[in-house]
Amino acid sequence: MADVVLRGTDLAQRYESRGRRVVDALRGVSLELRQGATLGIVGESGCGKSTLARLLVGLERPTAGTAEMSGESMSTLDGRTRARRIQLVFQDPYSSLDPRQRVRNALREVLTFHRLHAGAEEQRIEELLDLVVLGRRFADRYPHELSGGQAQRVAIARALAVEPTIVVLDEPTSALDVSVRAEIINLLIGIQSRITISYIFISHDLSMVRHVSDDIAVMYLGRIVESGSYDQVLDAPAHPYTLALAQAVPVPDPTVVRPRRAAPAIAASSPITRGCDYQDRCPLVESQCREVAPTLDDVGAGHRVACHVAQRRARTP
Partner 1 sequence: MTTDALPANVATRPSRTAFLSRVWHHRNGRIGLVFAVLILLGSVAGWTNLTPYPPDQLGAGSILASPSAAHLLGTDQFGRDVLSQVLQALAVTLEIALLAVAISGVIGSIAGIVAGFIRGWPGAAIMRVADILFAIPAILFALAIVSALGSGVVDSAMAIGIAYVPIFVRVVRGPVLSLYEADFVRAGRVLGYPRRRLLFRHVLPNVAGTIAVQTSLTLAWAILDEAGLSFLGLGPPAPTASLGEMVSNSTSLASHAWWTLAFPSLAIVIAAIAFNFLGDGLRAAFDPRGLSR
Does 211 sit near partner 1 (CB under 8 A)? Answer: no
18 binds partner 1 (CB under 8 A): no
Angle value at C-alpha 310, between 31 and 13, nearest 5 degrees: 30
Query: Within 242-261, which residues bind partner 1 (CB under 8 A)?
Result: none
- Check residue 155 for interaction with partner 1 (CB under 8 A): yes
d(CA 140, CA 36): 32
d(CA 246, CA 116): 43
Q: Which window, 61-69, 181-189, 205-213, 278-286, contacts partner 1 (CB under 8 A)?
A: 181-189
Residue type (1 letter), 32: E
Contact between 151 and partner 1 (CB under 8 A)? no
Of positions 49, 153, 204, 308, contacts partner 1 by CB under 8 A: 153
DSSP assigned state of 231: I
**What residues between 69 and 108 interact with partner 1 by CB under 8 A?**
79-84, 87-88, 90, 92, 95-102
Task: Kindly tell me the sign of the dihedral angle through the C-alpha atoms of 152, 153, 156, 161.
Answer: negative
- Which of 7, 14, 141, 281 touches partner 1 (CB under 8 A)? 141
232: DSSP letter: I
Pick between residue 94 and residue 230 the one whose CB is nearest to partner 1.
94
> Cβ neighbours of residue 89 under 8 Å, at least 6 residues apart?
96, 152, 155, 156, 159, 167, 168, 169, 170, 172
Considering beta carbons, is residue 16 or 145 the nearer one to partner 1? 145
Q: Is 130 helix (H, G, I), strand (E, B) or coil?
A: helix
What's the CA gap between 225 and 219, in Å, rounded?
6
Q: Is 109 in the site for partner 1 (CB under 8 A)?
A: yes
Can you tell me which of 26, 31, 57, 282 binds partner 1, judged by CB under 8 A?
57
CA distances from 48 to 41, 42, 125, 154, 256 (A): 10, 10, 34, 26, 33
* Of 162, 238, 245, 282, the one binding partner 1 by CB under 8 A: 162
CA distances from 210 to 26, 95, 193 (A): 23, 27, 17
**From 3, 10, 22, 59, residue interacting with partner 1 (rule: CB under 8 A):** 59
Answer yes or no whether residue 25 interacts with partner 1 by CB under 8 A. Answer: no
142 binds partner 1 (CB under 8 A): yes
* Under rule CB under 8 A, residue 194 binds partner 1: no
Task: Give least dist CB 310 to partner 1, A.
Answer: 37
Three-class DSSP category at 224: strand
| Residue 138 near partner 1 by CB under 8 A | yes
Chain residues that interact with partner 1, rule: CB under 8 A? 57-59, 79-84, 87-88, 90, 92, 95-102, 109-110, 113-114, 133-135, 137-138, 140-142, 144-145, 147, 149-150, 153, 155, 158, 162, 183, 186-187
